[in-house]
Amino acid sequence: MKTLKAIVLPLLCVTSAQYTSSQSNHVNGFSGIPLWPFDGQVRPEYASHAVFRDIQTGDLIVSYLPMSISVDQSSMSDRKTFRIILPNRSRPRLGVSVRLLSDGYYEYRYSISNLGNNVAPITSWALELSSREETEVTEPVPWQHEEHTSIPGAEKGYSILRGFHDVTWSMPKASPEAAEPSGIASNSRPVIFVVKSKNSPGFTVARFKSGEVMRQSQEKLPETVEAEVKKWTDDAHSSRWIWVIGPKYPPSIPKIERINGIQTDIAILHGYQLLDSESPFVKEAQSTLGQILPGLQSN
């Protein structure tokens, strides 16, 4: 509980804070996909499945039966099989510093690098937002950004639903002939992106991609197979993602609601084992606990 208070309270009353995350970056939500067998032979109990995951590479394997062949009468030789390479082969490291400006805006500075050898460059990344109101975004040249809302007409709405709003930065190709944009290469210098917002800090998600989804077959798929492929290759599943501090709570949100929201996120972070109680952010937060707590309890 001590660690929980040390994080929740400074997020509510932050004037300056820093947070870095790399150990938490992972690929999202593939627990519903059976693993591709090492010998390449689909077992009878998985014969009705069409999408598998290669545990060695992280790729998806699509292996399906033509509509004219029933599962009961099929063999492995009847199946059509190909690979889908997902753009999740980077190893992003993200640091964020937050400070409250004199005009009432919070400035979030994101420092992004790509760890490890022989990893793919980061060519785009997205930050999930609860609101796009009173938010300004800047990036270094030649990076570009776009803002998205999942429901047209709700651009001014506030929502903590995953993926409702986001801002996505991408690196354009160096030339039309280039296979992929250069992006943030392995072990290169960090790249800085800045978001200014009236929204106070909370936990959100950043998603990172290294290129685009690559199907090794362009053959038209049966509708049910295509729907399953689209489900597992959307941005949420094909990206590498990190929990991070970002603009979340508009000034109109009551303080108690912010406390409850942060506590819920902390419980999730504990469950995923993504919270480091020895981080500089947590240690700095603990030193302010005593002077902040009485003020919060009175609100």
In a domain, 125, yes or no: yes
Q: Encode pLDDT of 55-68 as tens digits.
A: 888 899 999 988 76
pLDDT at 12: 52
- For the stretch 97-104, contacts whose Cβ atoms lie closer than 8 Å and that sit 24 or more positions apart, written own/partner, are 97/16, 97/17, 97/18, 97/19, 98/14, 98/16, 98/17, 98/18, 98/19, 98/201, 98/245, 99/14, 99/15, 99/16, 99/17, 100/14, 100/15, 100/16, 101/196, 104/198
Number of domain units in the chain: 2
Whether 206 and 72 map to the same domain: the answer is: no
Q: Encode pLDDT of 216-251 as tens digits.
A: 999 999 999 999 999 899 887 888 888 888 898 888
For range 109-126, the mean pLDDT: 90
Whether 171 and 222 map to the same domain: the answer is: yes
Whether 80 and 128 map to the same domain: the answer is: no
Whether 60 and 208 map to the same domain: the answer is: no
pTM of this prediction? 0.77
Whether 48 and 154 map to the same domain: the answer is: no
Q: Residue 93 sits in which domain range? A: 16-29+88-251
